[in-house]
Structure 1
């Protein structure tokens, strides 16, 4: 079982996210504590808000009073609703939130049914509950519950690498359902800041997306259309409008996802770990195939785009360890498409690599990043208000790499 904890500001955002799942018949309210529950499996958001607010003062100094927790049993663990309720209650009691107001919603939008819990981390006097070693305690409780209920153990830090989503397979049938499940899972697990990065992520699963603009009865519309592709990236079959998969797959939701991702990557410096890994592999080879293969072994997929002449004009790295999709030029000029093209072009190819003083990630780096990923993940539930949309610079990466002046101090040893 995997436990994820998100800390946020917006109580309404957390409730609305779960309410939307219920309204779409993709979720069901299992149980509550100190929150109105009419027993129908639905959530009255207004009454739920009143219940939570009645248990906390109007003004509190706690900046992020909302906890949004997801408990994800292994797909092979078949559990009844009663068992899921018991697991949720025991988890919260052991965590120190058993007497807090909370609601537990079972999500059924993907084959792997899982739980979402909404609660608050302040008491009636507005004081923050003990959050010392919260995520470490959560991990210990998770292991205890796995043993008690005979659940499959699952380590979150390896989940994306060891259990990747499957590619969409048109021959397997029910393509619409495959696309919908995959798109929703990717939007929840990964961070991407531009449409180009989003397409790169989708390409790993034999999909692509295009923007659709038009005018109907004098009103402009802006939407997305998803298509299945073969392994070469060529479209196959009929396209699907995003409206078929719910609002979370639509244009506005994806634009908001760009902004949230930009803020998270910036605040938590998530690109640093990926950059260290890519540079450490790049310095060791001029062979492009080895470069891609060695990065994949580290849990990073590489998507390269070529001109008709075979020149690299785009490079995107999908880091499954941190859940970040990053255009190469976003991490620095040395990883831009132009720089990579030069690196992998003769006469360098086949020659011993030139030694560079590139900081190589250590085990401590991995542990620190994993801890950070545990302790401040906000995912795609819209708990926080991000800044404006990110700028899509991918298509101009080559031009920018040639024209942009270096404004930051060059890193010692890299000649930057």
Structure 2
């Protein structure tokens, strides 16, 4: 018989789960301390009345499932008696509880829901509850003539955890822990000429590295096993794999075997360092590949953006520059003034206009100077060699004509 214990903050979830099983006909209530055992709201109301005595206690709920072997044929009265004895042994004899029997699995099992808070406000301690539970189960197995289960202390091997079993189902392969138990177990059972040196050598030949917890004095207090990059303490594999069992089975002597143990530790440390370095190299290589891939994507993006923003060929560039130059010149012609530039249509400023044209001509010659790199291209783009210079004659507006006539009248 085994027991799974859960401590929680509330009755509601587990109670609803079990009552739903009852409603489906795959469970029934064997015993209860509540006035009604078929209504969740009524049960929770009674629980809360007792809980009011300890409002600050978070985990007041205790849920245990008792599981029996498949071949155990137990009547309801037997299971009810076993559940009652278990509650008493755990200190819940006078606490609110409800007991369900389930029929939806291949083995008989019970679910017991308990309020840790007593009717008088006392609280049942959960200290060492797993240990006390195992002791109660072993005692009841003998009392009721049930199949006796080996206790965790007596078990040579630790059972697989739920997560390990799920992983084995997904991968369809035994876990590293199970493989280690088999490999180390084979060496332990081959007791012929088994000493520390042969024990270490046979394990290393199977790909298992050993690490001893050895003090500077040579005293050894523990052992761990490494396989497929994972390290397990002897206690994680089971009692048969602990140092105390290995020490007895190999006839260990501290002074005689300290060198062999030290050398085994050195090899294990070197192997770990090698694996760590290999892992770091792998990470760096992966990082370089990622950077290279990102760089290629970035360069591709730049080339695409560049192709979209830079005109194709010098013809397009020339066209854009001519359009901008023409627009600027037209603006100058329309305004008649540009900063310190004299008005081009003012007859009184003919000398200034002449000087401006000479300066412009010199500027054109400088721009078109063959000594400058790519001068021909620049001249063609800017149009400085065009005899007409691309400038349209400035037309007088009505306002300017009026000003001109007014000036002439004043001069006369």
- TM normalised by structure 1 equals 0.42
- Between 1 and 2, higher relative CO (CA 8 Å, sep ≥ 6) is seen in 1
**Structure of greater Rg:** 2
Structure with more of its chain in helix, by fraction: 2
Structure with more of its chain in strand, by fraction: 1
